[in-house]
Amino acid sequence: MKVFAHRGFSGKYPENTMLAYRKAIEAKADGIELDIHESSDGKLVIIHDEKLVRTTGRDGVVSDYTLKELTSTRASHTFDDAYDVTIPSFEEYCDFASKGSFVTNVEIKTNNIWYQDIERKAVEMIRSFGLEDRIIFSSFNWISVMRAKQIAPEIECGFLYCDNKHIHLAGQAREAGIQYIHPDFKLLDDGIVADCREHGIGVNVWTINEESHMRQLIKWDVNAAITNYPDMCLRLLGR
């Protein structure tokens, strides 16, 4: 089982910052999960919420600000502004990833705001750094997933979901040319794991922060656990 650091090593460092990504890789995580949005001037930035307030203390939403404004905005508000870190651009991240060998799960945050052509922009950036074979796209918005797959058939994709309507998703994913499902842990059971195995669909599960959940995933031998605590998961795996 692989270990993906959710928003970087977000259990110990400010989420979705270069510091949290670097620390995840130093801890020997196999991959990093991150969330992309678009600035007012149409550039890709990494942050979880549409609203800036929780992670930066600023008013407004991501698309109110330019790339320059966002990348000079401190992003450690969840840690009482203790770290001198800012919102990363997706370009800065891709440059970092191009120097390593880890996987990146790029979650396209189009579930609330539909950014114009965000999938194509992400693919262009990924291709410009030669990262195609180390990316997994996912989104709660499955039209975004299908658009990414259509634009870049060579890049792996997963259907992300958080409700229980998708019991027979593995067969549909296979038919759609999608490689993974990304369920919330509480929706996964023996039947879904077996169905995915039968259809050749990988399972990447979020957000796994409890030891008992990690142990269950190891037993199921899923493709990846997406966790805020990659160190804990790696320890359980004996790595």
Interacting residues with ligand G3P (CB under 6 A) = 6, 33, 35, 48, 107, 138, 160, 182, 206-207, 226
Residues 6+ apart with CB under 8 A from 206: 6, 33, 182, 183, 184, 185, 226
- Encode 54-78: b = buried (16+ Cβ within 10 Å), e = exposed: ebbebeebbbebebeebbebbbbbb
| Residue 122 neighbours by CB under 8 Å, 6+ apart | 36, 44, 90, 106, 108, 137, 148
| 182 belongs to the catalytic site | no
Q: Write out the residues near Mg ion by the rule CB under 5 A.
A: 35, 107
Q: Which is nearer to ligand G3P, 39 or 227 (CB)?
A: 227
Nearest residue to the partner ligand G3P, using Cβ: 206
Q: Which of 6, 37, 77, 182 is catalytic?
A: 6
Closest approach of Cβ 198 to ligand G3P, in Å? 24
Q: Counting Cβ atoms within 10 Å, is residue 182 exposed (0-12), middle (13-18) or buried (19+)?
A: buried
C-alpha–C-alpha distance, residues 196 and 205, integer Å? 13
Nearer to ligand G3P, 96 or 137 (CB): 137
Residue 111 touches which of ligand G3P, Mg ion, none (CB < 5 to 8 A by kind)?
Answer: none
Q: How far is the CB of 108 from ligand G3P (least distance, A)?
A: 10
Nearer to ligand G3P, 66 or 111 (CB): 111
Pairing of strands 103-108, 44-46: unpaired
Residue 226's binding partner among ligand G3P, Mg ion, none (Cβ under 5 to 8 angstroms by kind) is ligand G3P
Q: Is the dihedral of CA 160, 123, 8, 219 positive or negative?
A: positive
Which CB atom, from 66 or from 187, has the smaller least distance to ligand G3P? Answer: 187
The residue (of 19 and 226) whose beta carbon lies closer to ligand G3P is 226
- Measure CA of the first residue to CA of the last residue in the chain; give whole Å: 11
Question: Which tokens is 133 given?
Answer: 């074979």
Whether residue 6 lies in the annotated active site:
yes
In the DSSP assignment, the letter for residue 51 is B
Q: How far is the CB of 40 from ligand G3P (least distance, A)?
A: 22
Cβ at position 124, least distance to Mg ion in Å: 21
- Which residue is nearest to Mg ion, using beta carbons? 107
Q: Where in the sequence numbering do the catalytic residues fall?
A: 6, 48
